[in-house]
Structure 1
Amino acid sequence: MNRTMLTATNTMNQLQKKLDVIGHNLANINTNGFKRREATFTELMYQQFDNQPDAAREIGRLTPNGVRQGVGSKIAHTELVLTQGSLKGTDRSLDIAFTKPNQFLKVLVQENDVSSVQYTRDGSLHVTPVGENEVMLVNSQGYPVLDENENIIVMTEGSKDLQFSQQGVLTTTQYNGQQERFNLGIIEVNKPQFFEQKGENMIGLPKNIDDLDVNQAVVMTDLTGELRNNVSIKQFSLENSNVDMAKEMSELVNVQRSYQFQARSVTIADQMMGLVNGIR
């Protein structure tokens, strides 16, 4: 196959993946607390062809010996962009929004009988019954919200007042005046490039994080103890996604043009091969 075809098809495959990333961002433009991802490209390894077997014969050459040809590009990585989304006011006491861009709630997710802790910025919370006169705090997908010790938050049913402090402390007041306090489980993301989207507007660490020889304490920080003073939450508010429609559409057009250019390269290479094959 023509080298031009190989280079173009390699790049087209990676451009398709970037189109998928942009499409996923646009699909979640109205999702509370959604964080967009951004794909960056890098060149594939060069191949070198030496036109002289002996470098000494390249007399007077000012550039490196041989001819180097690229074989296309690939996506280096897709990084989570943690810029702050705009806030919108609501009238629900169970709606909260982070006002710092790198803080996330802890959520317990169970899939195929396997439980794992994942993280979300979606502050649309709810309560669901779990027993007699008890309710559990859950997120909009129905997964339990955890406290700072990664325990499920279970409250007495019938609270007449629920207040979230700026430091992420949930206080409930019963009709008899008794109060319950819960410290929400909150992390601070330090290295977003290690997180992957798990679906349902949540992120988490990859399953092979232990094989990457990365200290999780460097990747994220549990905001407990004195670090709770760093938490910044606003009640009666929700955070919009940080997806910018104009930016995503501009990026979409650029990727489509690049894809068309690579497809045109394949067509021209095919025509060239046809001409060569037609020579008698």
Structure 2
Amino acid sequence: MNRTMISATNTLNQLQKQMDTIGHNLANSDTNGYKRRESMFSELLFQQVNNQKADRDINGRMTPAGIRQGVGAKLSQSEINLAQGSLKSTGRNLDFALTARNQFFKVLVQGEDGAKVRFTRDGAFYANPAGNGEMMLVNGQGHAILDENDDFITFTEAEMNSQDIRLGENGQLTIAGVPFNLGIVTIEKPQFMEQAGQNLLGLPDDLQGLGVTEDEILTNMNGALRNNIGLAQSTLEGSNVDIGKEMTDMLNVQRAYQFQSRSISMADQMMGLVNGIR
């Protein structure tokens, strides 16, 4: 296989990954609090071929010396864009929207590997029966919403039936006069966060291997930091996906995909001509 085919094949594989990212963004354009991902490319290993025997032969040359041959491009990074999404009023007292760019709610997710704390911008909460006349605050998937101490937020059915649900300052939720401090974090380094499914983000498992600590990636908004929490009640944040931009990016990726496919066809035709020489 010649160099043209190698470069085109490598790039085709990476363009497919970018197409998957764009498709994921479009599929979540109506998901509350969803943050779009952006893909960036970098060049793979390249080879520099010097075609001049001596430096004196390149004197007066207007173009770069040598021939640079690459082996395609790769998807170097897929990062989260944390730009604020549009806010929409719902009139529902258990809907909350974070108005500070990097802040997230804390959610406890029970999985096969045990319970793990995840993070979300989706503030559509519900009251779920927890037994013994108690209710628990959960998200749309039934995962428990945590308070500032990583404990469940529970209250009685009578308190919930009163419909006296108010959002105070510093992210304090009051249900029938009983206060709860919602668990909120500020993500300082979003590039380290991983998609955990169900519109949730999670910390990577190998923090030590990445050379960072949890405290460097996120900050728990406790104590005096709660003064910096931005929250609105009876409001939800939409996704920050721009459908027009995503469709334009999709067309560009399709054109690039067609170009690389055409390169493989042309390389195959050229090899056929060479092999046909008698």
What's the TM-score once normalised by structure 1's chain length?
A: 0.93
Q: Which amino acid aligns with 2:67?
A: V
Q: Could you tell me whether the CA contact under 8 Å between 1:168 and 1:232 is conserved in 2? A: yes
Confirm or deny that 1:60 pairs with 2:63. Answer: no
State how far apart, in whole Å, the 1-side matches of 2:57 and 2:257 are. Answer: 40
Q: What is the SS of the residue equivalent to 2:140?
A: coil
State how far apart, in whole Å, the 2-side matches of 1:45 and 1:101 are. Answer: 37
Q: Which amino acid aligns with 1:129?
A: P
State how far apart, in whole Å, the 2-side matches of 1:166 and 1:102 are. Answer: 18
Q: Which amino acid aligns with 1:47?
A: Q
Partner of 2:246: 248
Q: Which amino acid aligns with 1:6?
A: I
Q: What is the SS of the residue equivalent to 1:210?
A: helix
Q: Kindly report which structure 2 residues correspond to 1:197-212, keeping only aligned pairs within 5 A, or say none.
A: 197-212=195-210
Q: Kindly report which structure 2 residues correspond to 1:102-141, keeping only aligned pairs within 5 A, or say none.
A: 102-141=102-141
Q: Kindly report which structure 2 residues correspond to 1:1-280, keeping only aligned pairs within 5 A, or say none.
A: 1-51=1-51, 57-62=54-59, 66-159=66-159, 160=162, 161-173=164-176, 179-280=177-278
Q: Which amino acid aligns with 2:56?
A: I
State how far apart, in whole Å, the 1-side matches of 2:30 and 2:68 are. Answer: 46
Q: What is the SS of the residue equivalent to 1:30?
A: coil
State how far apart, in whole Å, the 2-side matches of 1:50 and 1:100 are. Answer: 54
Q: Which amino acid aligns with 1:90?
A: T
Q: Which amino acid aligns with 2:47?
A: Q
Q: What is the SS of the residue equivalent to 2:76?
A: strand
Q: Which amino acid aligns with 2:273?
A: L
Q: Which amino acid aligns with 1:141?
A: Q
Q: Which runs of 5+ in 1 are unaligned?
A: 174-178
Q: What is the SS of the residue equivalent to 1:117?
A: strand
TM-aligned CA deviation for residue 207 of structure 1: 1.4
Q: Which amino acid aligns with 1:252?
A: M
Q: Which runs of 5+ in 2 are unaligned?
A: none
State how far apart, in whole Å, the 1-side matches of 2:209 and 2:115 are. Answer: 20
Q: Which amino acid aligns with 1:143?
A: H
State how far apart, in whole Å, the 2-side matches of 1:166 and 1:35 are. Answer: 26
State how far apart, in whole Å, the 2-side matches of 1:150 and 1:68 are. Answer: 55
State how far apart, in whole Å, the 1-side matches of 2:98 and 2:169 are. Answer: 9
State how far apart, in whole Å, the 1-side matches of 2:113 and 2:154 are. Answer: 21
State how far apart, in whole Å, the 1-side matches of 2:99 and 2:169 are. Answer: 10
Q: Could you tell me whether the CA contact under 8 Å between 1:166 and 1:234 is conserved in 2? A: no
Q: Which amino acid aligns with 1:277?
A: N
Cα RMSD, aligned residues only = 1.4
Q: Which amino acid aligns with 1:60?
A: D
State how far apart, in whole Å, the 2-side matches of 1:83 and 1:172 are. Answer: 31
Q: What is the SS of the residue equivalent to 2:77?
A: strand
Q: What is the SS of the residue equivalent to 1:59?
A: helix
Partner of 1:176: none
State how far apart, in whole Å, the 2-side matches of 1:277 and 1:60 are. Answer: 35
State how far apart, in whole Å, the 2-side matches of 1:38 and 1:121 are. Answer: 18
State how far apart, in whole Å, the 2-side matches of 1:271 and 1:165 are. Answer: 71
Q: What is the SS of the residue equivalent to 1:60?
A: helix
Q: Could you tell me whether the CA contact under 8 Å between 1:165 and 1:233 is conserved in 2? A: no
Q: Could you tell me whether the CA contact under 8 Å between 1:45 and 1:71 is conserved in 2? A: yes
- Greater shift, 67-76 or 30-39, is seen at 67-76
What's the TM-score once normalised by structure 2's chain length?
A: 0.94
State how far apart, in whole Å, the 2-side matches of 1:234 and 1:96 are. Answer: 6
Q: Which amino acid aligns with 1:8?
A: A
Q: What is the SS of the residue equivalent to 1:158?
A: helix
TM-aligned CA deviation for residue 28 of structure 1: 0.3
Q: Which amino acid aligns with 1:196?
A: E
Q: What is the SS of the residue equivalent to 2:100?
A: coil
TM-aligned CA deviation for residue 165 of structure 1: 2.1
Aligned residues: 272
TM-aligned CA deviation for residue 219 of structure 1: 1.4
Q: Which amino acid aligns with 1:25?
A: N
